[in-house]
Structure 1
């Protein structure tokens, strides 16, 4: 059964990014009733801190050294999460923009899965190489400001370039973005932006 992996990054079920994801998934399930949808809620998922044995395991692997027992156990947690991503035929990431970047839970997820031998390999003479195959990936990014039309009052969107680059680093190049914003301020622009984004999401879902 083909699988869509949904990485849900908002702690608020009624947030703009969560609402956008629901619109997309409803249309996707209607168009693809035979697909399995695997949801990773980063605020409920068991994710170890990126410290201690798992950091030691990362550098041990990069140096070609064997794991000790604590390193092996901690690296297995990263492997479990990376496998869920590697098995997905399509990927949906729904996230708010926090302080011009991504939520720390999403950064923690990337820190755990971007591991040598799992999602990339390193050759001292040639550099870094991705290990995942490319797959269609959609990012729903909600922000307080209007980054769609550029009315961001000088604020910089650091979430979009980071997500595009970190996904490219592990092999995922076919990445699209649907921005939802503004989500703060006068109600009329908020509702108009949400309506535009939801219509676009429903359209993308039908052929995703």
Structure 2
């Protein structure tokens, strides 16, 4: 059965990024009722800390030395997360923008799965090479500012270029970003932005 992996990156069920994901998934289920939705809530699913044995396992792998038993167990947790991504035919990431970039839980997930020999490798003649196959990916990015019309109130969007580059690094280049914003301030611009984003998300989901 084909699979869509949904990474939910907001701690608030009532967040704008979560609402955008619901709009997308409703349309997606109608268009592809035979697909499995693999939902991962990064605030509730356990994520390993990138320290201790897991960190040492990374350097053991870089140095070409065997894992200890504890390092092998720690690295297995990263392998399970990376496998969950690699088995997905499509990916949906719904996230807020925090302090110009992404929530630390999404950064933690990325730091855990981006490991040598797992999602990328290094070749002395070619440099860094991705190990994952490309797959269509949608990133819903909700922000208090409006990055669609340019009314961003002086804020800089560092989340979009970071996510685009870090996903490309592991092999995922077919990425579409759907911003939702503003999510703060007067109610009318919020409603207009939300409705426009939900319409676009439903349209993308119908042929995703």
Partner of 1:121: 121
Alpha-carbon shift at residue 125 of structure 1 (Å): 4.3
Q: Shift of residue 63 of structure 1?
A: 1.5
What do the CA deviations read for 1:137-189 (whole angstroms, capped 9, x no partner)?
00000000001111112211000000000000000000000000000000000
Name 1:81's counterpart in structure 2. Answer: 81
Cα distance in 2 between the residues matched to 1:64 and 1:11: 38
What is the root-mean-square deviation of aligned Cα atoms in Å? Answer: 0.7
Is 1:146 matched with 2:131? no
Matched, 1:204 2:204: yes
Q: What SS does the corresponding residue of 1:19 show, helix, strand or coil?
A: helix
User: Is there any run of 5+ residues in structure 1 with no aligned partner, and where?
Assistant: none
Equivalent residue runs for 1:21-40 within 5 Å: 21-40=21-40
C-alpha distance in 1, partners of 2:46/2:123? 31
In structure 2, what is the equivalent of residue 99 of structure 1? 99
Q: Is the 8 A contact 1:62 1:122 kept in 2?
A: no
Q: For 2:98, what is the secondary structure of its paired residue?
A: coil
Matched residue SS, 2:44: coil
Please, what TM-score do these two structures have when normalized by structure 2?
A: 0.99
* Aligned structure 1 segments of 4 or more residues deviating by more than 4 angstroms: none
TM, length-normalised to structure 1: 0.99
1:56, distance to aligned residue in structure 2 (A)? 0.7
Q: Report Cα offsets for 1:48-97 as digits up to 9, x if no partner.
A: 11001111111111121110011101100000000000000000000000
Unaligned runs of 5+ in 2: none
The Cα offsets for residues 27-52 of structure 1, whole Å up to 9 and x where unpaired, read as 00000000000011000111111001
